[in-house]
């Protein structure tokens, strides 16, 4: 655990992210959004870089050896297919916002990390310091509103006010968009724990799916708000073996309902993909 914390802190210092990241991968999904504006689309590089995190987790036990030895940012890069998928999701979201009359700015390579991992690891002093830095940065840029695209970033930014002076409005794209297509298909769904239990957005994407004509196959014990289980992803950096066991069991539960699965979180997608035998898509891939 100490080695993971050490790597996270060192990476934040050197790369501005909790693990080594090539910022070109983070910002390469668009070049036509304005760089300045009061409303900013905030990706925190989650969709872009999450596909490489399982590889990083395999290295976590060697964090002390890897530190300063291997330039991980050169090696930990999503495949072309993974990168294209992430970029498509983000562009779907940006285009859906435009259809609602919202053209957000994007900070490109200057976009800061939300600090979500610090919060979720219980490193609250570090999270407070990071939140203060991000809050100051956004204030200097004249940002008054951020639109998030994933649950972990949304949760972190929404909690800044508990730690620092932060008067930026935090919205999620799910609160703002409407469907762009009809999808007469059957899926089951895995809920992000944060979206479902803590951020009150569980109904938002279900409404979008219903409007699109998606037939959601659910079961109270498998997909219920109080009874569904975590994908296991957030645990991977601490106990990869246990994380894999949780993910495998969760995938098996969902497969009993449908061979087509929807998720709304990049961590859930990456965690469940190796274990779910059918197809997995993000909500933003299907209805936007």
pTM for this predicted structure: 0.93
At residue 71 the predicted structure's pLDDT band, cuts being 50, 70 and 90, is: low
Which CATH code fits 186-287?
A: 3.40.50
- Using alpha carbons only, give the angle 39, 23, 247 rounded to the nearest 5 degrees: 90
pLDDT 10s digits, 121-167: 999 999 999 999 999 999 999 999 999 999 999 999 999 999 999 99
- Using alpha carbons only, give the angle 236, 240, 245 rounded to the nearest 5 degrees: 100
* Distance between CA atoms of residues 101 and 149, nearest Å: 17
- 92-113 mean pLDDT: 97
* Distance between CA atoms of residues 32 and 174, nearest Å: 22
- DSSP string across 166-192: ---EEEEGGGT----S----EEEE---
Contacts of residue 178, defined as CB under 8 A and 6 or more positions apart, other chains included, come to: 96, 99, 100, 208, 211
pLDDT 10s digits, 197-235: 999 999 999 999 999 999 999 999 999 999 999 999 988
pLDDT 10s digits, 232-286: 998 887 788 999 999 999 999 999 999 999 999 999 999 999 999 999 999 999 9
For residue 11, the SS3 value is helix
Sorted by where each begins, the domain ranges of the chain are 2-175, 186-287
At residue 74 the predicted structure's pLDDT band, cuts being 50, 70 and 90, is: low
- Using alpha carbons only, give the angle 150, 246, 155 rounded to the nearest 5 degrees: 25
pLDDT for the residue numbered 158: 98
- The mean-pLDDT minimum among 12-21, 101-110, 149-158 falls in 12-21
For residue 262, the SS3 value is strand
Question: CA nearest 205: which of 273, 146, 277, 281?
Answer: 281
Question: CA nearest 263: which of 150, 128, 173, 107?
Answer: 150
* Distance between CA atoms of residues 270 and 236, nearest Å: 11
At residue 65 the predicted structure's pLDDT band, cuts being 50, 70 and 90, is: very low
pLDDT for the residue numbered 58: 61
Task: Decide if 141 contacts 150 (C-beta within 8 A).
Answer: no
């Amino acid at each position: 655990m100490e080695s993971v914390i050490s790597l996270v802190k060192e990476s934040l210092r050197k790369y501005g992210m909790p693990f080594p990241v090539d910022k070109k991968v983070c910002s390469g999904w668009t070049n036509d959004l304005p760089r300045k504006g009061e409303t900013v689309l905030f990706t925190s590089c989650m969709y872009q870089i999450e596909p490489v995190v399982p590889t990083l987790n395999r290295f976590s036990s060697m964090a002390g050896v890897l530190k300063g030895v291997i330039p991980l940012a050169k090696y930990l890069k999503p495949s072309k297919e993974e990168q294209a998928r992430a970029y498509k999701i983000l562009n779907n979201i940006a285009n859906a916002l435009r259809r609602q009359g919202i053209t957000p700015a994007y900070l490109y390579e200057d976009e800061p990390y939300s600090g979500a991992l610090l919060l979720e690891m219980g490193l609250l002093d570090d999270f407070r310091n990071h939140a203060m830095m991000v809050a100051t940065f956004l204030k200097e840029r004249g940002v008054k509103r951020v639109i998030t695209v994933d649950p972990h970033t949304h949760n972190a930014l929404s909690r800044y006010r508990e730690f620092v002076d932060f008067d930026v409005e935090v919205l999620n794209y799910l609160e703002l968009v409407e469907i762009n297509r009809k999808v007469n298909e059957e899926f089951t769904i895995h809920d992000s724990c944060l979206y479902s239990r803590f951020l009150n957005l569980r109904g938002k994407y279900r409404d979008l799916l219903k409007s699109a004509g998606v037939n959601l196959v659910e079961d109270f014990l498998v997909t219920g708000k109080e009874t569904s289980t975590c994908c296991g992803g957030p645990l991977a950096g601490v106990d990869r073996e246990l994380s894999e066991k949780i993910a495998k069991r969760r995938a098996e539960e969902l497969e009993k309902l449908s061979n087509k699965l929807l998720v709304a979180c990049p961590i859930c997608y990456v965690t469940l993909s190796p274990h779910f035998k059918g197809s997995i898509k993000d909500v933003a891939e299907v209805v936007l």
